[in-house]
Chains A and B, each alone.
Chain A
Amino acid sequence: MAQNTQSGRDDGVSGDEAVLVLKGRWTLDEAQLRESELAAMIKPLSGRRVVLSLAEVAVIDVSGAWLLKRLERQLQAAGRELRYRDLSPEARELLKEVERHHPEAYAKPAAVSPFLKVLDATGRAALAVYEDALALVAMLGSIVQTLAAAIAHPRRFRPISIAVQFQNSCIGAVPIVMLMSFLIGAIIAQQGGFYLSQFGADIFVVDLAGVLVLREIGVILTAIMVAGRSGSAFTAELGSMKMREEVDALNVIGLRITEVLVVPRLVALMLAMPILVFLADLAALFGAALTCWAYLGIVPSSFIIQLQSAVNVETLTVGIIKAPFMALIIGLIACIEGLKVEGSAESLGKQTTSSVVKAIFMVIVVDGFFAIFFASVGL
């Protein structure tokens, strides 16, 4: 390696011909150095013919051979000539091999102006919204069709599949949903109590917590948790099945994706959501009651009496009736996004993200619509 300090020199210039002696290792790890050396060595030469002597080259690999071939092309283009001398048989073979696969000059893809890029992205986003809507309608139609067929032949409901999905998305979610709701209920009671006690209206914290939890918080929080938990799982499952052509295999065998993959998940989720919301309501009220007792001194018995006057069955149903709709939205979005996955791991990640984001956003939008609807029917 010591001779690398001067890896080539002009050995003799006789008229038109210059001889360069290459030295050292011409391998990939040295390629950057060799490239600049070669360029520096060639620059001062003006003769028509350049002869490279490889006698002192220790190793040469494909990248080294490429550097030489590239130089040969450059010189040829300028009407000059490159010859090799003292080639080992291996180096000769290598140069031949590189010559055989000589890539054309690589042209960088043309740069696009930023303005066009923005325009392009906007157009694509608009198209994506349209395609999303189309996919949603198509999926809904296909689901209705499947359900209609399943009513005629109940076996096509795939009860085992539904049970497995129910196990995953409902029973598995119970502890975390209840824990989260318990904490939120406690926090609402604590925060509400702090302000209401300043007016001596401590007892109304029960009304606050009761109405808020049963009508809104219970269902919204559960929906968000389910979107993050089951929605992402649906997208990832369907997406990786799509990537590995399992979805295509199902299609070819004659099984319908909607019937086999989508409907069981949707049905399970629509059954699971009301149960989860009910449990979340219970846990949140329990949390609120504990805080009221510990923080405001409202004993559980007076909490319950106050709660009875604050809420009724309608308050509870208003919350729970929203649950299956939330489940439908989460499940639909998750399945559609899952089936949009293409070949790459990156697209799986992208669709899973957008599944959760879209589901949570739509849950809140739909909750708003429900609020308007209930207000106008006087609930």
Chain B
Amino acid sequence: MTREKASGSRNSFVDLAAQIPVGAPILRAQDIRVRFGSQLVLDGLTLDVMKGEILGFVGGSGTGKTVLMRTILGLNLRESGRIEVFGREQGKLSAKERRQVEQRWGVLFQQGALFSSLTVRQNVQVPMREYLQLPQRLMDELALLKIEMVGLPREAADKFPSELSGGMIKRAALARSLALEPQIVFLDEPTSGLDPIGAGAFDELIGKLRETLGLTVYMVTHDLDSLASICDRIAVLGDKKVLVSGSFEEMKQFQHPWVQEYFCGTRALRR
């Protein structure tokens, strides 16, 4: 009985995704409207992300891809609309419920957002330290495992973010976003700044994590290779809403000048 108690202690995460079947929406955004001052950024945007899928989110610069991600995460206020993550409406959660959700998602910010006064290893351990009481040894090993999984060299573990290259910062930030074994990860341009080989390995890792852990991935990206190789579905943001969503092939068929240019332009054809 004592063990049972220990395992049911405050350390345990709530398996929020468990009751959602694979293929059902794990994240729903409905009629989102976001305004900055007089500028309407998103208007009437509706988007579902299904459990277990890798969704690639594209759109021209300044169309509000990052704004949408930040709105879903609760970092920006929305004027109207409804956002559900794990079937729970964001903005109406108690502090405890909110923490439960935060324990089950991982976020990779565009600039990495690593804590500049901590080493990479400590950065990865921040969420573990906050929510779990793991022995230091196990925490070190898990952090190093994650750091290796994202393709960083061993020496990087004890470096500070200011000593890393842009691509390494991206990888370290991914390692941190995966620290708590999240059920959904939000990646903001994860492969920008990586060399093609690194970007390929990154895609492969994301794909593998999805296969093995049933991860759901929401990925803002401009990388046509990522979009074609690992994304199950692509959503295009334009005119303040989701223009279209579907497979890579469907994107090519869609009649919209920007979408045509993007998926059938010279860069796309060169692939």
Contact = CB atoms under 8 A, between A and B. Distances in A.
Contact of B212 (A63, A97, A104, A109): A97
Interface string B81-120: 0000000000000000000000000000000000111000
Interface in B120-177: 128, 131-135, 137-138, 140-142, 144-149, 154, 158, 160-163
A63 B142 contact: yes
A30 B12 CA distance: 7
A97 B149 contact: yes
Interface in B1-36: 1, 3-4, 6-8, 11-13, 15
B117 A66 contact: no
A70 interface: yes
Interface string A1-21: 110110000000000000000
Contacts, number: 106
Nearest to B10: A29
Interface string A92-129: 01100110011110100100000000000000000000
Contact of B162 (A1, A2, A62, A344): A344
A137 interface: no
Interface residues of B, number: 44
A167 B191 CA distance: 45
Interface string A332-367: 000000000011111100000000000000000000
B181 A33 contact: no
Contacts of B7: 1, 4, 24, 30, 33
Given A32-B135, A35-B135, A90-B212, A106 B116 contact: no
B208 interface: yes
Interface residues of A, number: 37
B213 interface: yes
Main SS at interface, chain A: helix
B211 interface: yes
B68 to A, nearest CB: 25
Contact of B6 (A33, A70, A345): A33
Interface of A: 1-2, 4-5, 24, 27-33, 35, 59, 61-63, 66, 70, 90-91, 93-94, 97-98, 101-104, 106, 109, 342-347
Interface of B: 1, 3-4, 6-8, 11-13, 15, 115-117, 128, 131-135, 137-138, 140-142, 144-149, 154, 158, 160-163, 178, 180-181, 208, 211-214
